[in-house]
Structure 1
Amino acid sequence: MDYKEEKVIEAFRIYTKLARTAVSDQEDVQLYRADEAIRSLLDLYAKEVDAVIVNTSENLYLIPETKLSSFHVSNEWIKRHYLRSGATNADIYLLYFSTIILFGSFYNSYQSGRPTRDFIRIENWMERVQERIEQLQALDEDVLKQKESEFSYNWGLIIDKWNDMNDVKENVKRQTGNTISRYSFLDTVKRFLREQDLVKDLGNEEIALTDKAQTIIQRYFMEVEYNKGILTFIYEMEGRQQDASD
């Protein structure tokens, strides 16, 4: 076996591990960083399935880059595995919206490079979602419709879904399972993100971002090319509210 064949086999070994589990270990991280031939092959393999290799200090991850990737998690899959029976697109929209707000809560703006906080409590996350919902509600109806068309994102459904849940002032903190409450919904979102290795549960109702999440946020989440301007829209709402209060 010659040198090139060894590199191809080693790269393919790592790729098959990633394709099977979506994560690889630190030894593979070192190979990926130190060996240009293996790194190039792995990136090429990932590109062929519309995915990318993301590396952190401890792991390699195979992340779908487009909906065409066989590793893409579909809305229907999320509904089946995480949301209650009868879940609709409104639940999916709110799950994505809540995730955007959660990720943004760790940064001083949606354009900053590094997180500015170590953790957030679920109740603070819930308060931030409530603030953004109120900002959306304050927009003129025609403006909201325009933004829905611009982003292909149904802001009205998000507002209605959130408002249909129990009020944040009710004693719903300990209610989970089948209880329809804002807390239980965010608990479901947290479980989804935790099982995707994007957040870690610190206990005492505190959650933190993983290295995987921080890498993805820095590499893709902040880029307009990928978020289609949604983050800018949400952050501009916050900025307008702050200006109005000054």
Structure 2
Amino acid sequence: MELSQNKIFQAFDVYARLAARGELQKQEVTVLWEDDEVRHLVENFARHVQCIIIDDAENYYLIPLSMESPFHISNETFKRKYMPAKAINMDMYLLYLAVIVLFGCFYDNYQTSDPAEFVTMAWWLEQMDYCIDSLKHQDDEVLRQKEKEFNYNWLALVRKWTDMDSLKETVRPAADQCRRRADTGAAATAGKDRRSTVPRFPSSGSPAAAERMAASGPSYRRRDKRL
């Protein structure tokens, strides 16, 4: 099918911006959903570099499909650019697993193939716990065999997640203690502020003098002592 030169240029412009930035807001490229021919051409450009274009409610994303794609990011590059300095490979593999589980949460429904509109953090973590617990119930030898098949260190992932739970249990009492201290300090400060703003008028003073003292702010306390 012959395409006009204008549509070819439109499609390449969209692809070039996606290739440079990795994502585009839908409002920037309305032609992708307004013109099927342009959209199909952009998708063909992406396939030629072993990528796919996916979208959510607001953006389009250019996602590499294989390690041979020029847009593929190695583990070392990803770790250096997007993770803390002390991160190790196991942190990255745990991140991968968490992302897979997150996508599964959106499609965890036998009634429909449509994704869920919203997934809470609590539900995501609950599903992570469920997945790790299911791995814990597998025999170690079975997991080692699966590691060879899938090139994924399941035993180390289980230990990493368990260590994180242990760390959270260790940190929680200290965090609670710090929170209680902060709350106590805030309450004491608030009480002090309230006491400092309550005017203490001399019993023999006139109403006019009392009003002047109240308007003068904190300095009235010193004059009160002299009275």
Superposition TM-score tier, normalisation by shorter sequence: 0.5 to 0.7
* Greater fraction helix: 2
Structure number with bigger Rg? 2
Q: Which runs of 4+ in 1 moved over 6 A?
A: none
Are the structure 2 counterparts of residues 82 and 26 from structure 1 closer, same or farther at C-alpha, using a change threshold of 3 Å? closer
Normalised by the size of structure 1, how large is the TM-score?
Answer: 0.59
Q: What one-letter code is carried by the residue in structure 2 that aligns with 1:21?
A: R
Change (3 A) 1:109 1:143: farther
CA gap 1:9/1:153 in 2 versus in 1, 3 angstroms: same
Structure 1 residue 125: Cα displacement:
3.1
- The equivalent of 2:199 in structure 1 is none
CA offset at residue 57 of structure 1?
5.1
Secondary structure of 2:62's counterpart equals strand
5+ residue gaps, structure 1, are 176-246
Q: Is 2:80 the counterpart of 1:80? A: yes
Please tell me whether residue 45 in structure 1 is matched to residue 45 in structure 2.
Answer: yes
Q: Would the alpha carbon gap of residues 36 and 132 (structure 1) be closer, same or farther in structure 2, given more than 3 Å must change?
A: closer
1:75 to partner: Cα distance: 1.2
Q: How many percent identity over aligned positions?
A: 37
Q: Which amino acid aligns with 1:155?
A: W
1:15 maps to 15
Asked whether the 8 Å contact 1:29–1:55 carries over to 2, the reply is no
1:65-118 C-alpha deviation (Å, 9 max, x unpaired): 212222223211221133333433211211111222222233335996223462
Task: Specify the alignment match of 1:106 in structure 2.
Answer: 106
CA distance in 2, matches of 1:112, 1:146: 34
1:140 aligns with 2:139: yes
Letter in 2 for 1:136: L
Of residues 23-32 and 90-99 in structure 1, the stretch that sits farther from structure 2 once superposed is 23-32
Q: How far apart are the structure 2 equivalents of 1:19 and 1:140?
A: 45
Counterpart CA distance in 1 for 2:97 and 2:110 is: 14
Higher RCO (C-alpha under 8 Å, 6+ residues apart): 1
Question: Secondary structure, in 3 states, of the residue corresponding to 1:72?
Answer: coil
Aligned partner letter, 2:59: N
Task: Report the TM-score when normalising by structure 2.
Answer: 0.63
Q: Partner of 1:165: helix, strand, or coil?
A: helix
Is 1:161 paired with 2:182?
no
Cα root mean square deviation, aligned: 3.0
Residue in 2 that maps onto 1:218: none
